Amino acid sequence: MKQKFNIITSTCIPLPLENVDTDQIIPARFLKATTREESFFGENLFRDWRYDKENQPKQDFVFNKPDFKEAPREGVHQILVAGKNFGSGSSREHAAWAIAGYGFRVVISSFFADIHKNNELNNFVLPVVVSEAFLAELFQSIAANPQMQVEVNVPEQKVTNLATGRSEHFELNGYKKYCLMNALDDIDFLLENTDKIEDWENVNK
């Protein structure tokens, strides 16, 4: 869903696993939908890690633990913090719809898979790449105090662990930053540039 970004300050949900693939984020059997209802995908985010075969919550999965089970809202659980190589595997954008649908606005990791990173950006979920050291400290901060908050400042491209005060700059190109801050998507841009596309075709055909 198109929404404007500025500064987000929120508690986090930690998922300290590496190589979380998009088949786990949203299993293939939920890909049969022909609409983009984010609430449907959000309900099935991490389905097989969150629920057992009888559809009962698995108590050992972080989303079901008392400290983290509250659904995201302003300032609460709007940030997912995940281990290295988040979103690997399948290109399914349904994974980004599920993350957005659950209520996350930011995902912090030390490394994202390419296609999934683009999919998040195209759905107004911000992937924030931090150093391994920042990530390790952030996991520790959340373990010590699940109520701790992180500030993600999009205009300044700065992420801060408010428990330790540690800050880092994160990458975001000027074009995408403008899009995120003004809730514009790439198709809006491309449609304004069809003359350039026709020029290219005239030269190359």
Partner 1 sequence: MNTLFDKIWDKHVVQNVPDGPTQLYIDRLYCHEVTSPQAFAGMRERGLKCFRPDHIYCMPDHNTPTHDQDKPIEDPIGRTQVETLAKNAKDFGLRHFGMGQKDNGIIHVVGPEKGLSLPGMTIVCGDSHTSTHGAVGAVAFGIGTSEVEMVLASQCILQQKPKSMRINIEGKLGKGVTAKDVALYLMSQLTTSGATGYFVEYAGQVVRDMTMEGRLTLCNLSIEMGARGGFVAPDEKTFEYIKGREYAPKGADWDKAVAYWKTLKSGDDAVFDKELTFQAADIEPRVTYGTNPGMGIGITERIPTIDTIPSAGVESYKKSLQYMGFEAGQSLLGTPVDYVFLGACTNGRIEDFRAFASIVKGRRKADHVIAWLVPGSWLVDAQIRQEGIDKILTEAGFEIRQPGCSACLAMNDDKIPAGKLSVSTSNRNFEGRQGPGARTVLASPLVAAAAAVTGVITDPRTLMN
Q: Is 185 in the site for partner 1 (CB under 8 A)?
A: yes
CB of 107 to partner 1, least distance (A): 15
Two tokens at 197?
Answer: 């596309």
Encoded one letter per residue, x for contact with partner 1 by CB under 8 A and - for no contact, window 1-40 reads ---------------xxxx-x-xx--xxx-xxxxxx----
CB of 9 to partner 1, least distance (A): 27
3-state secondary structure of 126: strand
* Site residues (CB under 8 A) for partner 1, limited to 105-134: 111, 113-115, 118-119, 122-123, 132
CA distance 130 to 35: 33
Bridge partner list, 113 = none
Query: Strand 7-15's sheet: what is its strand order?
Result: 126-129, 106-109, 79-82, 7-15, 149-153, 158-161, 167-169
Strands 126-129 and 167-169: unpaired
CB of 95 to partner 1, least distance (A): 9
- Among 4-12, 61-69, 77-85, 141-149, the segment contacting partner 1 (CB under 8 A): 77-85
Number of Cα atoms under 13 Å in the Cβ half of residue 154: 24
Rounded to the nearest 5°, which phi and psi values hold at 102?
-70, -30
In the complex, the residues that contact partner 1 under the rule CB under 8 A are 16-19, 21, 23-24, 27-29, 31-36, 48, 53, 83-85, 88-94, 96, 111, 113-115, 118-119, 122-123, 132, 136, 173-176, 185-187, 189-191, 193-194, 196-197, 199-201, 204
